[in-house]
Structure 1
Amino acid sequence: MSRILRIVSLVLLVSTVCRTGYAQGDRVVQRIYLVGDAGELKDGHHPVCDWLKGHVDWNDTGNVLVYLGDNVYPHGMPPEGARGVDEAREIIDYQLSVVAGKKARAFFVPGNHDWKQGKPGGWQQVKNEQNYIDSVGLANVDFLPKDGCPGPVAVEVGEKVVLVAMDSEWWLQEEGERPGLESGCECKDPKAITNALRDIISSYPDRLILVAMHHPLYTHGEHGGYYTIKQHIFPLTDIKPGLWIPLPLIGSIYPIARGYSGMCRTWRIPGIRTCVRRWSP
């Protein structure tokens, strides 16, 4: 439920920011709704998707929807005929239903769960998801970047905004489990990605450039390896709020292991540190 509340808050915040940014004009020219971790249904519904359907005019082309990854829990889109594929398609269908038959555009970018949490076969899972979304045939929906490529892919979503889709999980995948130098990707290595991103930024000096990817460049939360004193001393409260059992030292083992082992795809692991260094001013 806390994840859901964060998503709703983000949607409301983005709408508010866009309204503020164009407050001096005659009208709002662009609203971009960012939704992350939408890959799980509860009783056949997703409350954020339901909220979006009931509160946003998706026939207004000034509205754009971006799903920021982890579009299918827990391990992405299985292949045709495999266990769980029907459930995975149902999840994607529910997300697509927000803009199905409407004029507004929607974009999907992958996250770590779409890549099978970094396990072998994740690259194929991402391509399965892309292929399924493409097969539905909605002209106003796109999955970017394509084929597990890292991006960046620039899309003009209005006169004022350029959306740049990137696959941040690409940086975390092992060699051989992601497209590399032998692939058909336009950008095949970190240097090419960085140069392409700089080219996009220089090509649109007068526009707002919104980089859409699953992981943030910086975070002071648990995915950045930061934990509160409470989590170190009373770690069981993360499992059940009432378990105030002090476990000093023992309680610090999990945060330290998580921060440096990469088991939970945090920003302290080498691939992400490389990404941040290359993109920092």
Structure 2
Amino acid sequence: MYLLKANKIRCAFLASAAVIIQVLCLLQSTYAQQADSIRSRVILIGDAGEMDMQQDGVIGHAARQVLTGKTTVFYLGDNIYPRGMGLPGSKEEQETKDIIKSQYTPFRKLAAPVYFIPGNHDWDKSGPLGLAKIQRQDSFLKEQGDSLLSMIPANGCPGPVEIQLSKDLVVIAFDSEWWVYPYAKETAAGTCDCNTKEETIEKFKILLEKNKHKMIVLASHHPFQSYGSHGGYFSLKDHIFPLTALNKNLYVPLPVLGSLYPLLRTTFVNPEDKAHPLYTGMINRIDSVFAGFPNLIHVAGHDHGLQFIKNDQVQVVSGSGAKHSYVRKGKHALYASTLPGYVIIDQLKNNYVRFTYYAQTDGKFEQVFTFVKEFIPGF
């Protein structure tokens, strides 16, 4: 009797194990089929320039999404908080080196190319040492002797720069902070292909003509559309606790005076906010180049959240690599969140692109939004 029961238990265990193996094989096969349908993968992480639990979680999860030989990583600016790369001999030099290493090391270990786009904090938080600090960040990356690790554009130049990811997918990156930076930004003669806004616009036209039969990802730090504070939208917290804009821990209630902060910010506009003439001028001039082009995707950071905005344009905002701030779900937002996270763009075999948003909810990262954009041939 004992042997009979033991055999039954053993048979039941083997049957259960067989089912588990079949399920695992099915999942592995499904994943392989999905990966095989992807021509190229782009991982977008913005505003990740602070080594904290949020940054560690975002980068760690994103690194697990790397498809060998198909994945390229773009950091969308504000790569080093609070004021960019420490200059040689400064007390913050080593710390800032460690911050940027923490971002590229996990992906380079997996052989994924990594590109850093400049943000306003990389330009000395739009301060007078901006050009020196952005050039130092660039030179530090070059010192690593890794051809698949770089800043784009390089040397404090405005760009634009093209990165060909596949036959039908190209990233065109430019330094949007260069457009709004209020201090001297002239580089040494012969350093940059473009030195004025007029030359930059002409280069955009050349790159559009060259790549007009492809899907173009236009990458910058500043978004062309946003429902966050840089886009002119503010939370109740901004009205009641305005000092948190200076320090996240300054929860001093100023319910009446606090409402002056959003008002003043929209009246006396900062160049980092979309309402400023330098910012809107950049948008208008670059938009005029790509007007009517259907296969364009804007990607940016700057506002510390995740947004997918779709009207006559597609705007991806992936800015919650290490920070979070107010974002609302505006009229054209199909998704908006302040959760830590990042975005993946997959080019599929039919040249459509699939956007997948991952965010941390209840302590774990989950897929929270997906959208597929068709490719329109014959432009």
Q: Which structure shows the bigger proportion of residues in helix conformation?
A: 1
| Offset, 1:87 | 0.5
Q: Return the offset for 1:33.
A: 0.6
**1:135-166 superposed Cα distances (whole Å, 9 cap, x missing partner):** 11222212110111111001101222111111
Q: Secondary structure at the match of 2:120?
A: coil
Query: Residues 44, 123 of structure 1: CA spacing in aligned structure 2 closer, same or farther, 3 A cutoff?
Result: same
Corresponding residue for residue 171 of structure 2? 163
Partner of 1:9: none
Residue 56 (str. 1) matches residue 65 (str. 2): yes
- The reply to whether residue 173 of structure 1 matches residue 185 of structure 2 is no
Q: What amino acid is aligned across from residue 73 of structure 1 in structure 2? A: Y
Distance in 2, matches of 1:255 and 1:128, equals 35
Q: Does 1:75 align with 2:83?
A: yes
Match of 1:269 in 2: 276
Unaligned runs of 5+ in 1: 1-22
Counterpart residue type for residue 38 of structure 1? A
Q: 2:211 maps to what in 1? A: 204
CA contact (8 A) 2:156 2:187 kept: no
Moved more, 178-187 or 219-228: 178-187
Residues 72 and 92, structure 1, Cα contact 8 Å, conserved in 2 = yes
Give 3-state SS (helix, strand or coil) of 2:125's partner.
helix
Higher relative contact order (CA 8 A, sep 6+): 2
**SS in structure 2 at match of 1:163:** strand
* Superposed counterparts of 1:36-185, under 5 Å: 36-42=46-52, 46-53=56-63, 55-57=64-66, 60-176=68-184, 178-179=185-186, 184-185=191-192
2:39 match: 29
Residue in structure 2 matched with residue 222 of structure 1 by the alignment: 229
Unaligned ranges ≥5, structure 2 = 1-33, 292-379
TM normalised by structure 1 equals: 0.80
Name the SS of the counterpart of 1:157 in structure 2.
Answer: strand
**Structure 1 residue 104, shift from structure 2 partner:** 2.1
Are residue 213 (structure 1) and residue 223 (structure 2) matched?
Answer: no
Q: Is the 8 A contact 1:75 1:114 kept in 2?
A: yes
Evaluate the alpha carbon distance shift between residue 125 and residue 245 of structure 1 in structure 2; reply closer, same or farther with a 3 A threshold.
closer
Shift of 1:236: 5.2
Paired residues, what number? 254
TM norm structure 2: 0.61
Q: Structure 2: how far apart are the matches of 1:127 and 1:181?
A: 12
In 1, Cα distance between the equivalents of 2:284 and 2:275?
Answer: 12
Decide whether the 8 Å contact of 1:156 with 1:162 is kept in 2: yes
Letter of the 2:143 partner, please give it: S
- Partner-residue secondary structure (3-state), 2:39: coil
- Contact 1:155 1:164 (C-alpha < 8 Å) held by counterparts: yes
- Relative to total residues, which structure has the larger strand share, 1 or 2? 2
Question: Which residue identity is paired with 2:166?
Answer: G
Does structure 2 conserve the Cα–Cα contact (< 8 Å) formed by 1:181 and 1:189? Answer: no
Residue 44 and residue 252 in structure 1: after superposition, are their counterparts in 2 closer, same or farther (change >3 A)? Answer: closer
Of 178, 183, 195, which aligns to 2:202?
Answer: 195
- Structure 2 Cα separation of the partners of residues 183 and 139 of structure 1: 22
CA shift, 1:188, in A, is 1.4
Q: Provide closer, same or farther for how the CA distance between residues 66 and 196 of structure 1 changes in structure 2, counting only shifts above 3 A.
A: same
**Are 1:180 and 1:189, in contact at CA under 8 Å, matched by a contact in 2?**
no
Render the CA deviation track for 1:89-118: whole Å, top value 9, x for unaligned: 001111121222433211111100000111
Cα distance in 2 for partners of 1:94, 1:38 equals 10
Percent identity among equivalent residues?
27
The 8 Å contact of residues 159 and 175 in structure 2, kept in 1 or not, is answered as yes
The RMSD of aligned alpha carbons is: 2.9
Aligned to 2:3: none
Aligned AA (2:72): V
SS at match of 1:96: helix
For 1:167 and 1:180, how far apart are their aligned partners in 2? 14
Per the alignment, residue 240 of structure 2 pairs with 234
Please state how far the C-alpha of 1:256 moved relative to its aligned partner. Answer: 2.5
- Which residue does the alignment assign to 2:356? none
Which residue is equivalent to 2:193? 186
User: Quick one: distance in 1 between partners of 2:84 and 2:172?
Assistant: 22
After superposition, give the CA deviation of every residue in 1:197-219 in whole Å (9 maximum; x if it has no partner).
Answer: 12211211221111111000122
Aligned equivalent of 2:264, options 237, 253, 257: 257
